[in-house]
A = this chain, B = another copy of it.
Amino acid sequence: MKWKRSERLVDMTNYLLERPHQLIPLTVFSDIYQSAKSSISEDLTIIKETFENRGTGLLVTVPGAAGGVKFIPKMSNQSMEKVMQEFMENLSQSDRLLPGGYLFMTDLLGNPEVMSKIGKVFATRFADSSVDAIMTIATKGIPFAHAIARYLNVPVVVVRRDSKVTEGSTVSINYVSGSSKRIQTMVLSKRSMKSGQRVLIVDDFMKVGGTMNGMKNLLEEFQCELAGIAVLVEAESVDERLVQNYQSFVRLQEVNEKDRTINIVQGNLVDGGKEQ
């Protein structure tokens, strides 16, 4: 079958979007479309410019025999702020207020459109952090972790509170929960990670950071490196955080149960919290 340029553009766009952060040799495309490399290069130039103009991401060309092209999902700061504003508005609705000053946000974590946008924001921020894997803790961190993982194209490992027979042999550590000061346990399957990997730790909510700190300690047991810490919602200012250098999407400034008001502000992600 002979492919027209217009058809190649549609199919190559799909092909690249499905394989973020993956180096694709140009021969892959010339084989699929039975086209000369020069035509493929011209196609890629069009895709590259359109992706950049629309804030879809970058198309990075790696020259040489082992070279090819790589799609890096990257949003503009403006688009990231828009996603954040939408999320803040949604999260500030007073009917989210639960007894004890907690916020209901399970519906947002279960919404693939919302999570996908937020995943792309974090993948933008950590695009250059050489992330090999994403670590989170069951249960609510999982959709957030997978949303980022899809755009970074790396696996997710899930830490649990209890050991399961389906996990095989595990490594278990004790840690001190930041808020309640209780000793807790977290467990990770031994096969989950190889030593030397760079790991992004993520969770949907962080208060003092005890759980995050526990995951950091778990990394050491696996001889892995910390690539960064990502938090969806950070609790109102806490005197002493147990972790530093995290990137938060939004911050819960104040929750007033009496007036039923929720005040949410930007996290440190957009104006660039420091990366490690």
Write the residues of chain A forming the contact surface with B, with a CB cutoff of 8 angstroms.
1, 5-7, 9-11, 13-14, 17-18, 46-47, 49-51, 53-54, 56, 98-100, 102-107, 110-113, 115-116, 138-140, 142-143, 146, 149-150, 153-158, 160, 165-168, 189, 191-192
| Interface contact A156-B13, CB-CB below 8 Å | no
| Interface contact B106-A54, CB-CB below 8 Å | no
- Which residues in B have their C-beta under 8 angstroms from that of A1? 53
State how many angstroms separate the Cβ of A102 from the closest Cβ of chain B: 5
State how many angstroms separate the Cβ of A143 from the closest Cβ of chain B: 6
Task: Name 6 extra pairs, CB < 8 A, besides A18-B116, A106-B158.
Answer: A7-B49, A9-B9, A9-B10, A11-B56, A104-B168, A142-B143
By Cβ-Cβ distance, the 5 closest A-B pairs, closest first, are A10-B50, A110-B156, A13-B13, A138-B139, A112-B150
Q: Which of B7, B11, B111 contacts A155 (CB 8 A)?
A: B111
- Which residues in B have their C-beta under 8 angstroms from that of A140? 166
| Interface contact B112-A149, CB-CB below 8 Å | yes
Q: A106-B167, A110-B157, A189-B106 are in contact. Are A54 and B13 (CB under 8 A)?
A: no
| Interface contact B158-A110, CB-CB below 8 Å | yes
- Which residues in B have their C-beta under 8 angstroms from that of A5? 6
Q: How far is the CA of A60 from the CA of B110 in the complex (A)?
A: 27
Q: A165-B98, A166-B102 are in contact. Are A146 and B6 (CB under 8 A)?
A: no
Q: How far is the CA of A99 from the CA of B157 in the complex (A)?
A: 21
Of all chain B residues, which has the CB nearest A135? B110
| Interface contact B165-A107, CB-CB below 8 Å | no
Q: Which of B18, B146, B192 contacts A107 (CB 8 A)?
A: B192
- Which residues in B have their C-beta under 8 angstroms from that of A11? 50, 54, 56
Q: How far is the CA of A160 from the CA of B112 in the complex (A)?
A: 19
| Interface contact B46-A153, CB-CB below 8 Å | no
State how many angstroms separate the Cβ of A256 from the closest Cβ of chain B: 18
- Which residues in B have their C-beta under 8 angstroms from that of A138? 138-139
- Which residues in B have their C-beta under 8 angstroms from that of A110? 149, 155-158, 192
State how many angstroms separate the Cβ of A191 from the closest Cβ of chain B: 7
